[in-house]
Amino acid sequence: MSFKEKKRITVWHALIPVAFLIVSLFTTLKWFGGDPHIPILFSAAVAAAVAMATGFTWGELEEGVVETIKMSMSAILILMIIGMIIGTWILAGVVPTMIFYGLQILKPSIFLVATTLICAVVSLATGSSWTTAGTVGIALIGIGQGLGIPLPIVAGAIISGSYFGDKMSPLSDTTNLAPSMAGANLFDHIRHMIYTTGPSLIIALVLYGIIGFKYAGNSMDMSSINTILNGLSGQFTISPLLLVPPLLVIVMVILKVPAIPGLIGGTILGGLFAFFFQGAGMTDIIGAAHYGFTSETGITAIDDLLSRGGLDSMMWTVSLILCAMAFGGIMEKSGMLHAIAAAILKIANSTGSIVLSTILTAIAINLVAGDQYLSIVIPGRMYKDIYDQRGLHPKNLSRVLEDSGTLTSPLIPWNTCGAFMSKTLGVHPFAYAPYAFLNLINPLISIFYGFTGITMEKVQDTDSEEQAI
């Protein structure tokens, strides 16, 4: 059957697999305790059935799936390398050194500001807001309680710092997922986020400083922090020289070094530093790169913090990307995403309204599906063509996805992130949400930039060439 003989795909056709996706995700995640992979695959099957009913052949749809997966292969490779970096950097003492020095900035007079910065440093080092909140965050909650600071305020500062680091770290899975969905470069994405996340952090720190001033004279029990510091120095050689690898990664971001060779270089550096500073053998280095590092200090906070990484640790996220690409490929090839985009464009006819629509969609998926990954994946595929049609650089879309999907996820009690943070910190999301200043401010700044055009970069010929490299 030729293309002309195919029935016209309408927005109502497109909404069938979307509705099935929402319902299946909700029931699987909330009632059956499953992961999102299977619902997404079954939703892809529903999308294929709708497309074939309108005249598409399976061969055409499969071609769309393969083409879309091919687009994500660079991101998949980067994720696998990131897992290797995390494992080797922990073994080398790089991550422990960053955490060790980060904890040194804790001062009673600026506890809330210090809490935010500590969690930001640890999350940057580990690439994980969950790990940060579940280890250092728990210690800081105890200290804040001893100081007489209301726990919702302390939890808000922990959330703000943890998600700043998670959002800005090249080791974070969401930081890699967003540009892969939008078609942007990882390091371009990180640089572009500075314009929204940087001011958000500064405003948040000012607000925490004002609130924390009334608690400045209180004394502080440092026993839990000292336990972590002593445990780190007992297991690893701590040295300022171990900050060289992350500093080199920052330099690579500034110099626009391609992500894959740059990150492979970071993995090699991790192995070399592990050998020279920690006395690790080749078996240990290969094991950490492949399977991750396992900490066995006997100190729960440290073991939970450092037992992670490795190529294998990224397979859950890689498989999610492949499932999402299967769904997105069928939706794209059949024209369903185009139909949805056309309907949105009738309402969102300016850059500001498109940014607002993207943010509201990501928040809605966080509310309905309860998963931050899906709040990045689904809007990323939905809005990619819209941003392209307006000549907006893909890094605008990837930034907006993180400004909304990543940062609002811990504020929703039934979201996986909100549920984890609530259980870990012992504070309900509705209680700490008003004090998670960075998470609240960041989406607003992103919307402001959308309507004013500030930092909303257009696609240039040179950018197109860079994307192809």
- pLDDT: is 351 or 143 the higher one? 351
Contacts of 328 (CB under 8 A, 6+ apart): 68, 337, 377, 381
For residue 116, is pLDDT > 70?
yes
CB distance 207 to 290 below 8 Å: no
CA nearest to 432, candidates 454, 410, 452: 410
CB distance 381 to 181 below 8 Å: yes
- Rounded Cα–Cα distance for residues 227 and 138 (Å): 13
CB distance 248 to 269 below 8 Å: yes
* Banded pLDDT at 462 (limits 50, 70, 90): very low
What share of the chain has pLDDT > 90, as a percent? 36
Write the CA distances from 161 to 10, 116, 291, integer angstroms: 44, 4, 28
- Rounded Cα–Cα distance for residues 247 and 137 (Å): 25
- Rounded Cα–Cα distance for residues 153 and 337 (Å): 41
CB distance 169 to 129 below 8 Å: no
The predicted model scores a pTM of: 0.70
CA nearest to 170, candidates 97, 47, 264, 273: 264
- Rounded Cα–Cα distance for residues 199 and 460 (Å): 26
**3-class SS of residue 349:** coil
How does the average pLDDT of the chain come out, rounded? Answer: 85
CB distance 88 to 245 below 8 Å: no
What confidence score (pLDDT) does residue 146 get? Answer: 63
Query: What stretches of 369-455 show up as alpha helix (H) in DSSP?
Result: 372-389, 394-401, 407-408, 416-425, 429-432, 437-452
What confidence score (pLDDT) does residue 221 get? Answer: 61
CB distance 314 to 171 below 8 Å: no
Task: Tell how far CA 98 is from the center of its chain.
Answer: 20
* Banded pLDDT at 385 (limits 50, 70, 90): confident
Residues facing residue 458 across a β-bridge:
392
Token duo for residue 325 = 């690409």
For residue 335, is pLDDT > 80?
yes
State the DSSP H helix or E strand holding residue 153, giving kind and residue range, or none if neither.
helix 151-168
**3-class SS of residue 458:** strand
**3-class SS of residue 57:** coil
Query: What stretches of 171-242 show up as alpha helix (H) in DSSP?
Result: 173-182, 186-212, 223-235
- The top-scoring range by mean pLDDT among 130-134, 310-314, 321-325, 461-465 is 310-314
- Rounded Cα–Cα distance for residues 80 and 290 (Å): 9
**Phi, psi for residue 308 in degrees, rounded to 5:** -170, 180
- Rounded Cα–Cα distance for residues 108 and 220 (Å): 6
For residue 217, is pLDDT > 70?
no
- Rounded Cα–Cα distance for residues 183 and 339 (Å): 20
What confidence score (pLDDT) does residue 2 get? Answer: 41
Lowest mean pLDDT among 171-175, 351-355, 464-468: 464-468
CB distance 402 to 168 below 8 Å: no
What confidence score (pLDDT) does residue 3 get? Answer: 41
